[in-house]
């Protein structure tokens, strides 16, 4: 990432590979970490609690979000309280609904009152944003994760949703908005311009951040050189 470009947005690394997390824990560009059950499964994690304790220790004191995985709210609460007890830097990810489409926000409100730092995730709509802000009233620290990348995958500009969430977070207090599931480096610039507090970045996208602010003439020439070098290496002839 070009450090000459001044931005207010914080970069959170999204993943579940402990070796990569360890590397990024020494990177000053990374302000926090997030993960989820899908990423953990992809990384071959078999013991949730063992992974979580190692990750929390590695990244401390920077924040890390760990997600519940039950589909029943009573068990979800038990998991959330246990996860929250593992460290002061822990945010507990609660999906906006369960798989039946039932709202998780009563649980979010309950956990918020108990002092748990909650990251409400998989948010896609204005109603979900507004209702989440209400549930987070009195929070000691929370996140509203707008899945901007997936909203864009549906052919809809996510900016309006992120902007709405930022306004709601300001009214809540102690609340930050996450631009989740970004697809390209441009999303970092867009999120920053909207006043979004955090953007999650996968390892693949993190590699591309070195291009942020790159001179386009230089970028063009580098691309031409890449085509030429690959054709030469392949030994193509006509």
Residues annotated catalytic, as ranges: 93
**Helix or strand (DSSP H, E) at 231:** helix 216-234
Count other Cβ atoms within 10 Å, centred on residue 191: 26
Question: In this structure, what token pair is assigned to residue 41?
Answer: 């499964």
Question: In this structure, what token pair is assigned to residue 25?
Answer: 């824990």
d(CA 194, CA 197): 9
Residues 6+ apart with CB under 8 A from 17: 43, 203
**Helix or strand (DSSP H, E) at 80:** helix 73-84
Task: Report in angstroms the alpha-carbon separations of 233 from 108, 145, 211, 229.
Answer: 56, 44, 25, 6
- 3-state SS, residue 13: strand
Length of the chain in residues, anyone? 238
Residue 221, class by beta-carbon neighbours within 10 Å (0-12 exposed, 13-18 middle, 19+ buried)? exposed
Residue 230, class by beta-carbon neighbours within 10 Å (0-12 exposed, 13-18 middle, 19+ buried)? exposed
């Amino acid at each position: 990432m070009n450090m000459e470009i001044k931005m207010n947005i914080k970069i959170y690394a999204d993943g579940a590979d402990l070796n990569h997390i360890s590397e990024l824990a020494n990177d000053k560009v990374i302000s926090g970490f997030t993960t989820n059950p899908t990423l953990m499964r992809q990384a071959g994690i078999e013991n949730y609690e063992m992974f979580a304790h190692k990750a929390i220790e590695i990244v401390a004191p920077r924040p890390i979000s760990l997600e519940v995985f039950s589909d029943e709210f009573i068990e979800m609460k038990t998991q959330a309280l246990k996860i929250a007890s593992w460290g002061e830097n822990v945010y507990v990810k609660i999906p906006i609904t369960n798989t039946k489409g039932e709202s998780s926000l009563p649980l979010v409100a309950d956990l918020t009152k108990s002092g748990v730092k909650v990251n409400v995730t998989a948010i896609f709509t204005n109603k979900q944003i507004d209702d989440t802000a209400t549930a987070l009233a009195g929070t000691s620290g929370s996140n509203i994760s707008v899945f901007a990348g997936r909203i864009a995958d549906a052919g809809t500009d996510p900016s309006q949703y992120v902007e709405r969430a930022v306004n709601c977070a300001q009214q809540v207090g102690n609340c930050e908005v996450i631009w989740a599931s970004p697809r390209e480096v441009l999303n970092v610039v867009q999120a920053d311009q909207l006043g979004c507090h955090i953007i999650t970045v996968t390892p693949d996208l993190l590699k591309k951040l070195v291009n942020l602010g790159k001179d386009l003439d230089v970028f063009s020439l580098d691309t031409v050189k890449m085509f030429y070098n690959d054709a030469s290496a392949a030994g193509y002839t006509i």
